[in-house]
Amino acid sequence: MLRLTFLGTSAGVPTKQRNVTALAIECLNTHGTQPNNQSRAANHNNQNKKSRPWLLIDCGEGTQQQLLHTKLSLHQLAAICITHVHGDHCYGLPGLLASAAMSGRRETLTIIAPQAIATLLEAYMITTELYLPFTVNFIAIEEILSEQSDTNKVNIRLSDQHQLDIDITPLSHRVASHAFGITQTIHHRTLNTDKLLAEGIPASALWGKLQQGEDVITEDGQQLCADDYVNDDLSRTRVVVAGDNDTPACLTAALVDTDLLVHEATYTHEVLTKIQAKNPEFDPMHSSAQLVANFVEKSGVNNLILTHFSARYQGFDNPNSKTPNMASIRLDAESVYRGNLWLAADFDQYMVDGAVELVSNQEGCQKKNRVQYIGSARSD
């Protein structure tokens, strides 16, 4: 499962209701063993905090202040991904890193971002004497994309059974902008105890070995093959989070087998057209809600969350109001999209539960992908 928490949903500038862009993605493993042999509760709501590593996608100014209203910990932050260099997506990064240092963080932190972000951080370190007591593993997007191979992705291993793959897709904007494909894979081996008992094989240390995939021999000389008694489940959840982008079709390949797309919808189609016509020499190179929704409808992705709204749109939803509001964005998207649609607000949380299939010798099964709004993350 992936739990998304929107920390900022405004485009360009903050408003009284919305901060600028930031999105937290918690990587939940509701079964299995985490590193250092710490146990996990079966219910995600009861998981130990150390079993909840998370990613931060973009870090607009004020992101660390938003985090104070949630239960997210900078000590559990596994990686930061920056889509592009515009300030509403990265100005909060130096302050957040400084706060992580002051809170006592010592674990290595991965940052996946344009090379210019490394230059920005170096400037802050030189001019403000910013000291980080932890190692920053900086991975430049340009280097990843230059590899030109099927393996040009970043792998983050959370445990032996739990891993993340982060792939990058170039988008179309005024500066180089990117989408991050986040794929969580969890392997879970379940021992078929009923079968063992039915065959007269009592509980013993052999059961544990079977569950770990080892073939064993019983005291009476019977050989037991692990594949005959273990169900190997593979849980895969994938979301794609796009940075600023005026050409949704850039995401065609990235959306294959994707459970959810998070994409900007800065304007309605009518407003975007007026802006482009008013000043032909300047194109903001953003998407309208209708433009994104039309592409996603044709792509077959069933779940779409729109974010990054212009400050001109008020947070309420009233199609009868003369004041531009979220109903304008919603109706623009609904005019062409029939899937599940949400308009993100600050602190909104969504649970994404991907597909589960059997990968052992038994017949495969599939659990329908689903995305669910679960309320506000604001804890005060």
Q: Is the Cβ–Cβ distance between 126 and 153 less than 8 Å?
A: no
What does the alpha-carbon distance between residue 139 and residue 142 come to, in Å, rounded to a whole number?
Answer: 9
How far, CA to CA in Å, does 294 sit from each of 66, 172, 178, 204, 247?
A: 32, 17, 20, 57, 11
φ, ψ for residue 286, nearest 5 deg: -115, 170
88 is catalytic: yes
C-alpha closest to that of 178 among 197, 212, 154: 154
Question: 57: part of which helix (H) or strand (E)?
Answer: strand 54-59
The b/e string for 126-164 (b: 16+ C-beta within 10 A; e otherwise) is eeeebeeeeeeebbbbeebeeeeeeeebbebebbebbbb
Answer yes or no: are the C-beta atoms of 370 and 353 closer than 8 Å: yes
Task: Give Dmax over CA atoms of the chain in angstroms.
Answer: 86
Catalytic residue, candidates 58, 88, 167, 348 = 88
315, amino acid identity: G
CB 82 within 8 A of CB 53: no
Catalytic residue list: 88
